[in-house]
Amino acid sequence: MAVLDRRAGRLSTEPRLHHNPPDPGRAAERRTEEAVRRSASCGVDLEPVQRPSGRGDHRCSPPPGTLHSRRRASAADGRASSWDPQNPRRARPDLPDTVSMMAEDLEGFESSLIDIAAHWCEEGLRLGAEYAQAFVEAGADLRWESRLRGPAVSATATSVNRRYGVGLLLRRAGVWTYSCAPLHEPQTLAEKISALCPGTPRIPSPWRGRSPLETVPATTARPLTDETCVTLQPNTAVRFIQDFFRQHRVIVDSAGTRRALRVGGGRRRAIATVFDGTATARAFTRSNNPHWEPASAETSFVESAAHLIKSAADQARALLRFRSMGHKTTPVVFGPKTGAAFLHELIGHALEADNLAKNSPYSVGLMGERLTRASLNLLDDPFLPDGMGSRAVDDDGQFCAPTPLVTDGTVVGRLTCARLDSPSGSGRRESYRHASLPRASNTSVLGGEDSVPSLLQPCPGSGLLYISSLGSGEFNPARGEFSFSAAAAHYLTSAGEAVPLKDVNLFGDAREAIDRLAGIADDVEGDNATCGKQGQSVLIGLYSPTMRFDRLDWHC
C-alpha cells in the first residue's frame, strides 16, 4: 500500500425528472472567463490533481476575491487546462464579486443535484434493486505550478480538472453493482443499468449546469513571480505546486438518506532538486489548509511560499553530505506526525472492514489482540479542526464519529462503510467514478508520557535512526511484511553527531515492529498524505507525537 506523495447534511425537496437549473451568474461568469482566457491561453496538460476528499460544511460560503478558472468541458468528463510559459509573471485579473448571489444559487444548485440523485435511486428500485444509493459530484480542482531555477521563475502553469457525474450503487439479488457516467451523458448510465437489470430506466435530460462555487474555486491560488520567491543557488531547481478544490457531493439512498455536502481545501508543496556536479539530492516540504481562507495581507502568501521553498532547498542541500551505512538494526525514532503514517499502514489498513473480511494471516485474530506493551492509543478522528480528512458526513451519507482502533495497546475497533455491516461513517471515495470503501479520515496517535530527550537517547555503543518524514512504501497484509523509504532521516551517533542519510529503506515484520514500540512523547503535530487503495486516492490527516521503536531493520 502506497504512503504519502489529504461533510453535514440537509433534507431536500421531492425529485423531479428534468434538471436544467437557471444560471443567474452566467453573465458574470462570461466576463470572468474572458479575463482568465487572456491570462492563460496555451493548451498543455499537467499531471492530474490528486482527488482530495477533505473537510466540508453545507453551511459555509466561499470567500470573495478568488480566481474563476472556467473552461469548456471536454466530451469525456470536463477536463481542460492551459499554460502560458511566455508570461509567467502576468498579474491575476480583477474578478467580479459573486458572493452576493452565492447563497441563493447554492441552494438551487444543490436541490437540482439532489433531484438527479433521487431520480436514479428511484429508477434502480423500479427495476428490481433491493437497495439503491446515488452519488452525485459537481466541482473543480485547480492547480498552479511554478518552476524556479536560480534567481528567477522559469515557467508557471495552471490546470483545471472538473468532475460532474453520477454513480449508482445497487444491491440486486444480494449482488452489489456500481455504474457511473458524466451528468451530461444520462444515456450512458441508463445503458449500463439496463445491462444489469431487466427493463429500461427513464432517462432525464442531459444536465450541463455549473456550480456557483466555480466562480471562486481557489481563494489564494496565484503564480509565483520573481518578486515573491527566494533566490536559489544556481545548482538548485524547485517545483512549487498549489492544489485547491471546491466540490458539491450529494448522496440519496432508498433507506431515506439525503445529504448535500460542500467540500473544499488545498495544499502547497515545494519539491527541490540540488546537483553539485557529482551527486543529486531531492527533498520536499508542504503545508495544508482544509479551509484556505484568503490571505490577510500580501505578505502572507509571499512568506508562506518563501518558507516552503527555502526549507525544501536547504533539506536537499544537506542531503548532498549523506553517508552510506549499509544494513543496521537499531532503535528507530519517528518524529512528530511521522509515526502516524507508519501505523496507518501497519494497523489502519488492516482494520478496514473489507480487509479484515479477507482473513489474511496478518488480520486473523487481530480484533481484541494486544499489539504492544506500550500505552498506544490510536483512533480515526474525522473531527480534528485542521485535518484534511475531517468531515461531518461520509461519502455514503452516514454521520461520522471518532472511531477508537487501539486502546492501551489493544485492538478495539474497525472502519466500515454502508455496504458492510454496522457502518462507522468511514465510507470514502475518490470521485463519482468509484463506490465508497472503508477508509481513514485522520489517523491520530494520542500523546504519551515520555519526554522527547529520553526517546532520543542512543543505545550504548550504537546510534539510532531518526525519521522526520516518510516517503513511499508498501505493506503486504498476506505476509505481514512492510518496506518504507524515508524522505528525510538522520543517523544519531552515540557521540551525538547527526549524520544526514539518503535512500533509507525501513523493512521487517509488521507484528514484530509494533510490539517493539517502546515510548510515546506528547509533542503531537499534524500532516497530510495521499493514501491509495484499490485504485482510489484520497487525502488523509496524520497526527502523532515522537515515537520510539526498539531494534528495527533498515538499510542505507
What's the per-residue H, E or C state across 178-245? EEEEECCCHHHHHHHHHHHCCCCCCCCCCCCCCCHHHHCCECCCCCCCHHHCCCCCCCEEEEEEEEEE
55/382 Cα distance (integer angstroms): 9
Above 90 in pLDDT, residue 54? no
* Residues 421 and 475 reside in one and the same domain: yes
Pick the closest to residue 152 from 225, 242, 235 (CA basis): 225
Report the distance separating Cα 531 and Cα 50, nearest Å.
10
Q: Are residues 344 and 232 in the same domain?
A: no
CATH number of the domain to which 243 belongs = 3.30.2290.10
Q: What tens digit of pLDDT does each residue of 121-138 get?
A: 999 999 999 999 999 999
* Domain-embedded: residue 236: yes
Final residue of a structural domain among 293, 319, 345: 319
Q: Please state the rounded mean pLDDT for residues 65-86.
A: 31
Domain presence at residue 17: no
**Mean per-residue pLDDT for 464-483?**
90
Quick one: 81 and 192 in the same domain? yes
Among 19-28, 185-194, 320-329, 351-360, whose mean pLDDT is lowest? 19-28
Between 256 and 150, the higher pLDDT residue: 256
Which one of 319, 339, 373 terminates a domain? 319
Of 13-27, 135-149, 446-460, 516-530, the one with minimum mean pLDDT is: 13-27
For residues 390 and 540, give the distance between their C-alpha atoms in angstroms, rounded to a whole number.
Answer: 8
**Number of separate helices (H) and strands (E) present in the chain:** 8, 22
Same domain, 278 and 381: no
Cell of 335: 518524529
Confirm whether 11 is domain-assigned: no
- Confidence (pLDDT) at 333: 98
Whether residues 477 and 377 fall in one domain: yes
Query: Residue 431: pLDDT above 80?
Result: yes
Q: Of 67-71, 171-175, 193-197, 399-403, where does mean pLDDT reach its minimum?
A: 67-71
Residue 21 lies in a domain: no
Its domain, for residue 372, covers 327-555
Residue 284 forms beta bridges with which residues? 271
What is the gyration radius of the CA atoms in the chain, in angstroms? 25
Q: Is residue 296 within 8 Å of 434, Cβ to Cβ?
A: no
Least trusted range by pLDDT, from 5-14, 97-106, 237-246? 5-14
368 in the same domain as 261: no
In tens, the pLDDT along 374-423 reads: 999 999 999 998 888 999 999 999 999 999 999 999 999 999 999 987 88
Same-domain pairing of 348 and 385: yes
Instruction: Among 319, 342, 366, identify where a domain stops.
Output: 319
pLDDT of residue 90: 33
| Segment among 317-321, 442-446, 462-466 with least mean pLDDT | 317-321
Domain co-membership, 403 together with 522: yes
Q: Which residue has the cell 437497495?
A: 131
Are the C-beta atoms of residues 403 and 395 closer than 8 Å to each other? no
Which pLDDT band, with edges at 50, 70 and 90, does 363 fall under?
confident
Q: Give the C-alpha distances (Å, rounded to integers) separating 179 from 171, 197, 423, 435.
A: 12, 12, 22, 9
**Number of structural domains in the chain:** 2
Q: Which residues pair with 253 in a beta bridge?
A: 133
Residue 223 has pLDDT above 80, yes or no: no
- Residue of 484 and 304 predicted with greater confidence: 484
| Whether residue 395 is found in the same domain as residue 525 | yes
Do 43 and 63 fall into the same domain?
yes
Strands 437-438 and 427-428: antiparallel
When pLDDT is averaged across residues 174-188 and rounded to a whole number, the result is 97
Q: Are strands 79-83 and 152-172 parallel, antiparallel or unpaired?
A: antiparallel
Residues 31 and 99 in one domain: yes
Average pLDDT, the chain: 79
For 7-25, how does the pLDDT look when each residue is reduced to its tens digit (9 = 90+)?
222 222 222 223 333 343 3
pLDDT value at residue 105: 82
**Given pLDDT bands bounded at 50, 70 and 90, which one contains residue 215?**
low
